[in-house]
Structure 1
Amino acid sequence: MPLQNRRLSGIFALLVVTLVWGTTFPAMKALTANFTPVWIIFVRFAMAAVLLSPFLLRAGRGDLRSGMLLGLLLFFCFVAQVEGLALTSSNRNAFICGLNVLVVPLLGVLGGRLPEKRIVLALVLAIAGLTALCWDSGSWGRGDTLALFSALSFGVYVKVMEVRTQAATSLLSVTAAQIGTVALCSALWLLLREAPRGPEDIANYWTYLGQHTARYWINFAYLGVVATAAIISLQTWGQSRTTANEAAVMYSFEPGAAAVFGFFWLGEALTGRGWLGAVLLISGMIVSQWNSESRPAGALAPE
């Protein structure tokens, strides 16, 4: 595949990833009324891990190590994000989590490599769009701090993924390993921190979870099958064809998508300032692709 077509296909894949991720904010927000954040993460990633488990059978040690490292980072991203989502509005959570677009180029600067001018301009537009889209009144709270930690963790995750996917032997093996790691980490967290100890409490605990999980099975199925198994696989594939800076700008569109889906799902209104923010975000995405420099093709052929 020609280099330019390879990059464009990766960019389009990340655009789809971002749009679907936008739906997860209202989907998870609806679930936080009845479930703890870690239970939501566990069910979501356990379903995805089962679907992708066949790809672990032929995984090499290097891919398993990469997947475990990425999965550990991803677990902390999601714990902080969903914990924060339970304590604040989906728009505000999306705005603060969207600040991860600053983390990737900052890591590059700390490593002695300045971002390209087009990326700087795109980041300015993206941050302006995020601010216009999701700004609301109110003092800083614990939910905002958790969302900020999620943004920092996700920025590190994006940068590590850029390196690890370029050296991977099998993208789907890396993806399956990281999703399985998130499921395992969340299961351990539930056992150590949330599971009740007394026999009666245990019975009530599982009865409650069973009844409500069955009630919201469509939400969990969507989050596990579509938004996790399929989309993280697509993200891994797409990011192997783009730079971390370009991926960060593409991800900056996520709060815009979250605001749109939040309106239809949760009834959260999108104001004129919100539409302005969406336009600025899209502008940032376009600017990120102007006069882009070529980069070496990834070491991994698409599967």
Structure 2
Amino acid sequence: MKTHPRLVYYLALMVAVVIWGSSFSALKVALAEFAPMQVIAGRMLTSTLICLPVLPSLWRTLKNDRKTAGILLFAVFCEPCIYFVFEGYALRYTTSSQAGLVLSILPVAVALGAWIFLKERLSLLAWVGFACSALGVVVLSLGAVSSESAPDPLLGNVLELFAILSGSAYVVCAKYLSRRLTALQLTAAMSYMGAAFFSLLCLFPQPVEPVQLEVAVPSWMPLACIVYLGAAVMFLGYGLYNFALTGMPAGQATAFMNLVPVCSLFIGVFFLHEQMTLMQYGAAALVIGGVVITQIPKRGGRTAGGDHVQ
């Protein structure tokens, strides 16, 4: 697998973070008009159309490698299938800002999985940073309040937590698969599986209870957000993240996910007029502080793969 300068992987992760930071608000707007499964199926179909040229190479790679095919099938079932089911319903009960902040638990789950299954090691200081972020999420959930657009924020945050656990399983598998598959192939497999899974779910009757937004949006905006979620968030965001996994340890790459809540916070508050209490702002500060700590270099350390932790 071709390697690139570390800065290239960092830039890819930063662009993915900014894109993903906007996904919660875009999803919230889409849910104002469509049912959760319709939104997710639409984004998967959009990404699948973009990924169609990758299908022949993916098939050639998998047809004689059953082990890789099996791990890939499990990975893409965890995310996007299970992940988006939980996340789609989480946004019906909590605000996009809070859901984004709950996402800060993901690096902890990934780091644990990478430690157990991939033998990756992180510094003690990084674990302290992860603990700070997790504590901030707990304070955030306890201080959450109900609103018209977030009727049960604690339930929504719990659903988002289950989404994160399934997402962490995908990341660990994807890091292992990155030795055999390209970033485009991984992204294409996610899109194909997601499109099939959620299109089937759309065949079942679904109660349509539109999410109430606190700001008026044009009638075309929900559909435009579905296209955006497929083309930008799914294809480009996951493509860049999968690319970074090919050249960085899973735990180190996923530490950047702690920056997603920061982007989500600003987008949700300033563009959707969502409200946060003083306690929640304090919790957000704690999460951000944890992010800063996780980025402090580990001097002289090496991962299991022999990469310097920088």
Q: Same fold (TM over 0.5)?
A: yes
Residue identity opposite 1:188 in structure 2: L
Q: CA separation in 2, counterparts of 1:129 and 1:241?
A: 30
CA contact (8 A) 2:175 2:245 kept: yes
Q: In structure 2, what is the equivalent of residue 93 of structure 1?
A: 99
1:225 matched to 2:238? The reply is: no
Q: Call closer, same or farther: CA 1:32–1:46 in 2, change over 3 Å.
A: same
Unmatched tracts of structure 2, length 5 or more: 146-151, 209-217
**Residues 279, 132 of structure 1: alpha-carbon distance in 2 compared, 3 angstrom cutoff:** farther
Contact 1:24 1:223 in 2 (8 A): yes
Match of 1:153 among 166, 171, 183: 166
Aligned counterparts of 1:97 and 1:65: Cα–Cα separation in 2: 27
Deviation at 1:13, TM superposition (A): 1.3
Q: Does 1:123 align with 2:130?
A: yes
Please list, as runs of the form range in 1=range in 2, the aligned pairs for 1:51-200 lying within 5 A after superposition. Answer: 51-59=50-58, 60-61=61-62, 62=65, 67-74=72-79, 75-108=81-114, 110=116, 115-128=122-135, 130=137, 136-138=143-145, 141-168=154-181, 170-194=182-206
CA RMSD of superposed structures (Å): 3.3
**Residues 133, 256 of structure 1: 8 Å contact kept:** no
Q: Go from structure 1 to structure 2 and tell me whether the alpha carbon gap of 1:88 and 1:195 turns closer, same or farther (over 3 Å shift).
A: closer
Letter of the aligned partner of 1:7 in structure 2? R
What secondary structure is seen at the aligned counterpart in 2 of 1:58? helix
In the TM superposition, residue 194 of structure 1 has moved relative to its aligned partner by: 3.7
Aligned to 2:269: 263
Gaps of 5+ in 1: 197-211, 299-303
1:284 to 285, 293, 299: 293
Displacement over 6 Å in runs of 4+: 132-135
Once the 2 structures are TM-superposed, how far is the Cα of residue 134 of structure 1 from its aligned partner? 7.2
Counterpart-to-counterpart distance in 1, 2:118 and 2:22:
36
The letter of the residue matching 2:16 is V
- The equivalent of 2:247 in structure 1 is 241
SS at match of 2:48: helix
Q: What is the Cα deviation at residue 2 of structure 1?
A: 10
Q: CA deviation at 1:11?
A: 2.6
More helix by share: 1
Q: Which residue type is aligned with residue 284 of structure 1?
A: I
Q: Deviations over 1:25-59 (max 9, x none)?
A: 11111222221111111101100110111011222
- Does the 8 Å contact 1:132/1:276 carry over to 2? no
Change over 3 Å in CA distance of 1:108–1:176 after alignment to 2: closer
1:126 positional shift = 3.4
Aligned length: 281
Distance of aligned partners of 1:141 and 1:135 in 2 relative to their CA distance in 1, 3 Å threshold = closer
Instruction: Give the CA deviation at 1:284.
Output: 3.3
